[in-house]
Structure 1
Amino acid sequence: MKKVVTLLLVMTLVIGTLAGCSSKPADKDSGGKDAGGKDKLKVALIYSGFLGDKSFNDSAHEGALRAVEEFGIELKEMESKEPAEWESNFVAMAADGYDLVIGVSTQFEEIVAKHAPEFPDTKFAIIDGVVKGENVASSTFAQNEGSFLAGAAAAMFTTKSDIEGVNPEKVIGWVGGLDIPVLADFFTGYKQGAAYIDPEVKVLQSFAGTFNDPLKGKELTIAQYSQGADIVMNVASGTGTGILEAAKESGKYAIGVDLDQDGVYPGSILTSMLKRVDNATYLAIESVVKDTYEGNKTVYLDISNGGVGLTDMSVMKEALGDKFPQDILDKIKELEEKVKSGEIKVEAYEGFGRK
């Protein structure tokens, strides 16, 4: 029965592709042989969305391209908005003989858990999630720690009313994609970081219900600005491009996520919370290349090993000149060391397992 289900999923992918579905395979390397004449390692990345988000997916893509450059692997990337296609893409790549298939999102947890046992000779990895299995490697992040720093920065920035666009109200915002545990973990840290600076700071929260709707992200962000927020954190992947655009068009401010988004709209983005999805992707591929791959193992990336953190705010510093609030940057460096040392314990969302 499992073989029948697998065959049906592969047929679904083929039919969907012929019909012009939104799955987009992209071969980043070809030829199948390395410089020594050996078969190249074949790696497939399956996305629960699209490249071009300047965030989570693009970060994974950067890590994979680094592996192409350093190891000469053959890479295929599958993009799609529809959950049914995520599963079809995932199964198709495993059935097509790829050596390593990576699910790029916590949303692949059930798919990986369901299908990895059907392909015992294939290696799998999941980014931002944990799946048990002898042929599954997982990676998770302390996004609560990174968000703690972002919340602290936002709470300090909202008091800088001498900066154009910052009002006297102590209100900051946060807009996420889907209401899922990993994003709840982001928000838990953000809220704690703001309260650490000033318990009176009000934190607004909204979910777009999707990672692929920039207009919805923009709409929710403008709504939070109308409620007194002057800085809003983006935790929404493709939806987040609308959050950043709202900051620019409204003369307000935002905080980026995953990749360094500070330069998307220079002067409108205070900082970005870096979540090194690129490193997690690269490390998963490197482990197979160097034959150090271990199933049933979770790589944990936090502040202590550079897995999460904030940008240096240099773009905003250049934009604001003498008005740049250096005290924020100094305080963030102090808080980062306190989190590293364990002096500050950042709370985690109780429904999110990371190790």
Structure 2
Amino acid sequence: MKKNFKLLALCLSLVMLLGLIAGCGGGQEPAKDSKEGTKEGTKDAKKFKVAYVISNNLGDKSFFDSGYAGLERAKAELGIEYKVIQSPNSADWEPNLKAAAEEDYDLIIAAASQMHDAVKNVAPQFPDKKFVYIDDVVEGNNVASITFAQNEGSFLAGALAALMTTHTELPGMNKEKIIGWVGGADIAVLHDFLIGYEQGAKYVDPETKVLSSFAGSFSDPAKGKELTLAQYSQGADIVMNVASATGVGILEAAKDAGKYAIGVDSDQDGIYPGHILSSMLKRVDNACFDQIKLAMENKWKSGHFEYGLKNKGVGLTEMTVMGDKIPQEVRNKLKDIEAKISSGEIVVKHYENFGVKK
């Protein structure tokens, strides 16, 4: 009887031991793809993260919105996550950039040229982070500086304005060879726009007079409208907008005065149909998308990279909104000028040392 009891106790002990081992997972095969979290759709899969730190707010329908469009494209096509950090107060530029660098972003995009000192100060503090600086140049092993040949794009815009300014068959167009230009803040990159615009206009007709004004801000539509109406009153019938959110007022002035404007950075042709001859595209969207893709493919490099007419970084819209109101001979002339700039036959001036490492 004792022997049977001892045998029963031994069996029960063995059963309990085996149950304990099974309960601890011993002998269980790991689930496939769970260890590294690389299987598509698993919760552990790490998405590529981008911070877009801008020196103003979105909603300008121009420069910053163009960069945002590049992020949206990267989200749709590459599956990234991103955060937009808006910084209309200059005192926040450096702290916001530093805060982004301290988080787990794979790429930090800083826009625009006013953030030069912020990028120059913050990037060296985070040598393992990748920074993309849009619209100016900062030297650094972890900084890719992206500039645009806006002088080339503006040359085309100035040529268009000079070609169209005496086409009196268009309502609101006078015979005077006077065109206008209104910029936001008085900074180097905008002078680079202006020098190209003036050169393009004079290339078409040396007698063309170019009026120019700076609003002193990128976020004052009322001032943009005031300056544009003043130029119309001085004989201009076409004014180029280079003013981000201030430019909303410039375009509105064209509509209210029954005159014409040229948009900037993004395609603004349809904002006031029939009053925007064309827009000078500055492909911030392409630059942001390209830099994200390169970083994701481990092909990203630091250095200075320029987007110009040759690589479709700048240019005019197709002017489809205006349609046949832009004569074919004008379109042909612009294509000829574009080809000559791309080939080097026409050399467009830069403003002083714009785009040089600082």
- Normalized against structure 2, the TM-score is what? 0.86
Partner of 2:345: 343
1:38 aligns with 2:45: yes
1:104 aligns with 2:111: yes
1:40-79 alpha-carbon deviations (Å, 9 max, x no partner): 1111001111111110000000001111112211100011
What is the aligned-residue identity percentage? 58
1:85 aligns with 2:92: yes
Q: 1:219 aligns with which of 197, 203, 226?
A: 226
Partner of 1:307: 313
1:259 positional shift:
0.7
Query: For residues 134 and 242 of structure 1, what CA distance do their matches in structure 2 show?
Result: 40
Aligned length: 319
Q: Which deviates further from its counterpart, 343-352 or 174-183?
A: 343-352
Partner of 1:333: 335
Query: For residues 169 and 115 of structure 2, what CA distance do their matches in structure 1 show?
Result: 45
Partner of 1:70: 77
1:300 positional shift:
1.1
- SS of the aligned residue for 1:60 comes to helix
Q: 2:102 aligns with which of 73, 95, 99?
A: 95
Q: Which runs of 4+ in 1 moved over 2 A?
A: 33-38, 323-326
Query: What is the CA RMSD across the aligned residues, in angstroms?
Result: 1.5
1:34 positional shift:
6.4
- SS of the aligned residue for 2:322 comes to helix
Partner of 1:167: 174
- SS of the aligned residue for 2:321 comes to helix
Query: For residues 87 and 311 of structure 2, what CA distance do their matches in structure 1 show?
Result: 32
Q: Which deviates further from its counterpart, 46-55 or 96-105?
A: 96-105
Is the 1:300–1:354 Cα contact (8 Å) retained in structure 2? no
Query: For residues 111 and 208 of structure 2, what CA distance do their matches in structure 1 show?
Result: 34
1:147-178 alpha-carbon deviations (Å, 9 max, x no partner): 00000000011111121100111100000011
1:309-342 alpha-carbon deviations (Å, 9 max, x no partner): 101111011xxx5x54222111101101111111
1:228 aligns with 2:248: no
Flag structure 2 segments of 5+ consecutive residues without an equivalent.
Answer: 1-38
CA, structure 1 residues 95+215, in 2 after alignment: closer, same or farther (shift >3 Å)? Answer: same
Partner of 2:197: 190
Is the 1:175–1:206 Cα contact (8 Å) retained in structure 2? yes
Query: For residues 266 and 352 of structure 2, what CA distance do their matches in structure 1 show?
Result: 26
Flag structure 1 segments of 5+ consecutive residues without an equivalent.
Answer: 1-32
Query: For residues 218 and 312 of structure 1, what CA distance do their matches in structure 2 show?
Result: 26
- SS of the aligned residue for 1:68 comes to helix
Is the 1:97–1:122 Cα contact (8 Å) retained in structure 2? no
1:97 positional shift:
2.4
Q: Which deviates further from its counterpart, 184-193 or 283-292?
A: 283-292
CA, structure 1 residues 222+101, in 2 after alignment: closer, same or farther (shift >3 Å)? Answer: same
Query: For residues 47 and 98 of structure 1, what CA distance do their matches in structure 2 show?
Result: 15
Query: For residues 144 and 188 of structure 2, what CA distance do their matches in structure 1 show?
Result: 20
- Normalized against structure 1, the TM-score is what? 0.87
Query: For residues 77 and 56 of structure 2, what CA distance do their matches in structure 1 show?
Result: 26
Q: Pairwise mapping of residues 22-33 of structure 1 onto structure 2 (< 5 A)?
A: none
1:238 aligns with 2:245: yes
Query: For residues 339 and 257 of structure 1, what CA distance do their matches in structure 2 show?
Result: 19
1:171-206 alpha-carbon deviations (Å, 9 max, x no partner): 000000111111111001000000001111100000
CA, structure 1 residues 139+195, in 2 after alignment: closer, same or farther (shift >3 Å)? Answer: same
**Residue 344 of structure 1 aligns to which amino acid in structure 2?**
I
Is the 1:140–1:354 Cα contact (8 Å) retained in structure 2? no
- SS of the aligned residue for 1:139 comes to strand
- SS of the aligned residue for 1:272 comes to strand
Query: For residues 120 and 313 of structure 1, what CA distance do their matches in structure 2 show?
Result: 44
**Residue 164 of structure 1 aligns to which amino acid in structure 2?**
P
Partner of 2:122: 115
